[in-house]
Amino acid sequence: MRALLAALGLLLAGAAPAAGAQALPLESIQLPPGFRIELYARVPNARSLARGEQGTLFVGSRSGGAVHAVTRDGKVVKVAEGFAMPNGVAVREGALYVAEVNRILRFDDIEKNLHSPPRPQVVYDRLPRDAHHGWKFIRFGPDGRLYIPIGAPCNICDREGYALIGRLNVQTKEFQIYAKGVRNTVGFDWHPQTRELWFTDNGRDWLGDELPADELNRAPRAGLHFGFPYCHQGDLPDPEFARGRKCAEFEPPARNLGPHVAALGMRFYTGTMFPAEYRNQIFIAEQGSWNRSKKIGYRVTLVRLDTAGRVLSYQPFAQGWLQGESAWGRPIDLEVLPDGSLLVSDEYAGAIYRIRYAPGG
């Protein structure tokens, strides 16, 4: 029954209204004083975001099977379609990288060929084919390697070769495991100063409304284990899989987030538009709970750090997609534009929003 409910939850999470089918109640979004939110583009099933060198915004999807581009003049172009959950997108040296469930594809010289993209090249095709947590977020790290998570193919299980973050040398095809014990991350970024990897991780289901918390994790080096499936939220042994393992054996979260908020995309804020106190702080897109008796999440949160990288606070930044127990949108990913404004993708509403700081209006 739980497996059936989980599958139903995933289907409901991916069932989005058609883009442009209805006006969006942006006036319901609450932001700190001086901030404004506006519609940037309508893109069906909008999920992961990546910006090209010439300013094109590429948008992955999960249920739609397509990758879109938003040009600098606001036009939406379908770049490719017919793919298996092409959630992850990344751009490097003029090429667009797209993550399907089991492989990474590359479209060369993409921004010059949006309307007639070249045939994609297969970069790597040795990833698992499991659809459960199979959609992938990808980004190039400071080391030039493509970081690729492999989510657990289950709610809770212990399977070799899963629940990890790997990194791929796209030239040599060498794939290394960077971090283990990561149930399902759909968002990560590197600290602008220390270059340390930070990532969100979704906690397991079916331990009640309040347990476990989703996590924000910090991986300053390769080889760390973050607990799954033996320990959750840093201090909660799994009732079935702990098997005598102690939570102290594993790397604790940098911060526990809300239980079942579905923390996905995260970005360090590197712009200059927002007030100075936001610089090098973390924004997190929380898609929102699907099986909790009282819904939470459906917002963008802010995690403040001190100069040593310790978490000081975790608080709402943009909220209002959830009205009572009814949600009209689900934030998925984030991207900082060169002007310092912040983009937020929304799979459910089929939209991308722009948050800017304009204290005068």
What H or E segment, with its residue span, contains residue 5? helix 2-14
111, 124 in Cβ contact below 8 A?
A: no
Question: What's the CA gap between 349 and 327, in Å, rounded?
Answer: 10
**Mean pLDDT along residues 83-88:** 98
Q: What is the pLDDT of residue 10?
A: 42
**Mean pLDDT along residues 182-193:** 98
pLDDT tens by residue, 154-184: 999 999 999 999 999 999 999 999 999 999 9
Per-residue burial over 3-20, b = 16 or more CB atoms within 10 Å of its CB, e = otherwise: eeebeeebeebbebeebe
12, 4 in Cβ contact below 8 A?
A: no
Nearest residue to 45 via CA among 87, 92, 3: 87
Question: What's the CA gap between 310 and 293, in Å, rounded?
Answer: 32
User: Among residues of the chain, what percentage have pLDDT more than 90?
Assistant: 93
pLDDT tens by residue, 64-74: 899 999 999 99
Average model confidence (pLDDT) across the chain:
94
56, 340 in Cβ contact below 8 A?
A: no
The tokens for 222 are 């390769």
**Mean pLDDT along residues 264-268:** 98
pLDDT at 247 over 90: yes
Contacts of residue 266, Cβ cutoff 8 Å, sequence gap at least 6: 187, 188, 189, 198, 199, 200, 216, 282, 283, 284, 285, 334
Q: What is the pLDDT of residue 360?
A: 83
pLDDT at 18 over 60: no
pLDDT tens by residue, 204-241: 999 999 999 999 999 999 999 999 999 999 999 999 99
Q: What is the pLDDT of residue 8?
A: 37
Contacts of residue 65, Cβ cutoff 8 Å, sequence gap at least 6: 81, 82, 83, 84, 85, 86
pTM for the complete prediction? 0.94
Q: What is the dihedral of CA 288, 296, 155, 177, to 10 degrees?
A: 60
Strand duo 331-336 + 342-346: pairing: antiparallel
251, 227 in Cβ contact below 8 A?
A: yes
Q: What is the dihedral of CA 279, 192, 202, 295, to 10 degrees?
A: 10
Instruction: State the Cα angle at 169 between 164 and 171, rounded to 5°.
Output: 150
User: Among residues of the chain, what percentage have pLDDT more than 70?
Assistant: 94
pLDDT at 3 over 50: no
Q: Does the domain spanning 33-57+135-357 belong to CATH 2.60.40.1180?
A: no
